Amino acid sequence: MELFYSDNCNNNQCVLAQEESMHCVKVLRHKVGDAINVIDGCGTLYHCVIESCSPKETVARINSVESDWGAHNYKLRMAVAPPKNIERYEWFAEKATEIGIDEIYPIIGDYSQRKVLKTERLKRIVLSAAKQSLKGAVPKIAEPLSVRDFIIASKDFESDCEKIICYCDDVEDTSKYLISNLLKDKKSVVVMIGPEGDFSKEEAKFAIENGFKVASLGTSRLRIETAALTAVGVTYFLNQ
């Protein structure tokens, strides 16, 4: 199934911007009168017919609408420190989109080797992954922020949001859960995965003070992107 993306849909029509129009008209050779499917990236699928098209702009009339198209029934935010090799992070973003995720927060920790990340490429990757896996909603990619700033920002998440920090060290006076034991039947979940060097003791302490539960990812030694994707996968299965 071929999907186009438009951030310019109203009750009557979807307008494809230049890049999507180019693909629609030049590559796929669509013409006025052709039926196309358009996602708005916010969860809605529009069945449309092309009214006018050019490589610069395509206007399609909406015939019918499917909301929450390809949606999952939980809200998952992953706050993951980008590894040195950025391709591994892009891979995580693509796979997480296929499985089901809502927001990705690149976080920079005290021990992060990578302190900067450009999000443009990531946004293109999750858009194409959402199209490929037939999802009307495209995950949001936040701009990078520090672990502390993310923890503060997480205070605005849903009140029933299960907040989890995956931390390898032991923590005094705090119980540590296997992550899968925290995920069953949750409406809203956020999982923090630290950099190669893990979170600092201060970062972990600050997370716990702000309502995060400390979780383990089991006995295997996982790379950042593998740890993050297994967390996405188990959240998906335990909330089907």
Cβ–Cβ under 8 Å, residues 137 and 67: no
Region from 31-39, 159-167, 201-209, 222-230 binding its own copies, contact rule CB under 8 A? 222-230
φ, ψ dihedrals at 191, nearest 5°: -125, 130
List strand residue ranges (DSSP E) for 103-172, in order: 103-108, 140-141, 145-146, 162-166
* Number of residues this chain uses to bind its own copies (CB under 8 A): 29
Q: Select 144 or 194, whichever has its Cβ closest to its own copies.
A: 194
d(CA 238, CA 235): 5
Q: Select 49 or 222, whichever has its Cβ closest to its own copies.
A: 222
Region from 15-23, 24-32, 61-69, 91-99 binding its own copies, contact rule CB under 8 A? 91-99
Can you name the residues that pair with 165 across neighbouring β-strands?
A: 192, 214
Q: Considering only residues 189 through 218, tell me which ones interact with its own copies, judged by CB under 8 A.
A: 218
103 lies in the binding site for its own copies (CB under 8 A):
no
d(CA 117, CA 108): 9
Residue labelled with tokens 């992070």: 89
Q: Considering only residues 123 through 182, tell me which ones interact with its own copies, judged by CB under 8 A.
A: 132-135, 178-180
d(CA 106, CA 119): 9
91 lies in the binding site for its own copies (CB under 8 A):
yes
Q: Select 199 or 236, whichever has its Cβ closest to its own copies.
A: 236
Contacts to its own copies by CB under 8 A = 70, 72, 91, 95, 98-100, 132-135, 178-180, 218-223, 226, 229-230, 233-234, 236-238, 240
